[in-house]
Structure 1
């Protein structure tokens, strides 16, 4: 059986602080392609954008969209999905947007003594899962989402990011 096509993913580097992370774009692409292969969601003929920003940029997004005036590591903005059947010649379906803040992600990786590329992969996977309908507001949802994250990251050769956390 053929694997579903991954979504078209555009990675936009909008902050100079990402300059020292030459592989960031490739890391994000690999994480999202792996995640797309593991979810029961139609990601073929779909697209998304990932913005690699800084704490200031994500703080503005967090304040404007969530009412929280502080930076965070990752934000996801799922797009409304069309209700009708696609027609030939339609543009790819937009899954949504993901924003990842460098300073917060770097600080978390350093604090948790994790390789930065592992943490960036985790944030990209986490953001992508939100775009395709996963959430972690309730304990059962959080457990399902975290288990899927573990499975996806395992395929990427990344250890369980939740192993040292108490629930």
Structure 2
């Protein structure tokens, strides 16, 4: 599998992961989901104002959020060399605040957000208990493979 990652930095935050780390976390999610085709995705790192605007506009929820996923839908009958997965928008200040509040290393929380968002781009969701158990279990396994503890805090996968 080859992943082309388009990184867009639209945040003044410090301590941001580099493109290689972001790509590695996304590739780990793709591999665990048995996705092997050449693919492309964008990761846009933003501040709270842009995250809040997008969250309101697309989810009708006020305020910024940690990660937003925008899966790409290819028009019927169109084929591309590389599958376009979509875009992730990650709010750096929210991720940093959550890591501090949850007592997690910042890099581990970034990894979780990229894995979580990438799985959304692949169609995973957590709208009901069964979906949440599947998605969260996969996240826990992916992160364990990256030597990152269970982000949900329990000793076992959901």
Normalised to the residue count of structure 1, the TM-score between the two structures is 0.86
8 A contact 2:3–2:23 mirrored in 1: no
Paired with 2:138 and 2:16, the residues of 1 have a C-alpha distance of 28
Tell me which of 69, 72, 83 is aligned to 2:62. 69
User: For residue 14 of structure 1, what is the aligned residue in structure 2?
Assistant: 10
SS in 2 for 1:59: helix
SS in 1 for 2:5: strand
Paired with 2:57 and 2:78, the residues of 1 have a C-alpha distance of 33
Unaligned runs of 5+ in 1: none
8 A contact 1:27–1:120 mirrored in 2: no
SS in 2 for 1:157: coil
Paired with 2:29 and 2:66, the residues of 1 have a C-alpha distance of 19
Task: Tell me how many residue pairs correspond in the alignment.
Answer: 156
SS in 2 for 1:105: helix
User: For residue 50 of structure 1, what is the aligned residue in structure 2?
Assistant: 43
SS in 1 for 2:77: coil
Paired with 2:102 and 2:154, the residues of 1 have a C-alpha distance of 9
Tell me which of 111, 114, 132 is aligned to 1:142. 132
Unaligned runs of 5+ in 2: none
Normalised to the residue count of structure 2, the TM-score between the two structures is 0.90
Paired with 2:16 and 2:70, the residues of 1 have a C-alpha distance of 25
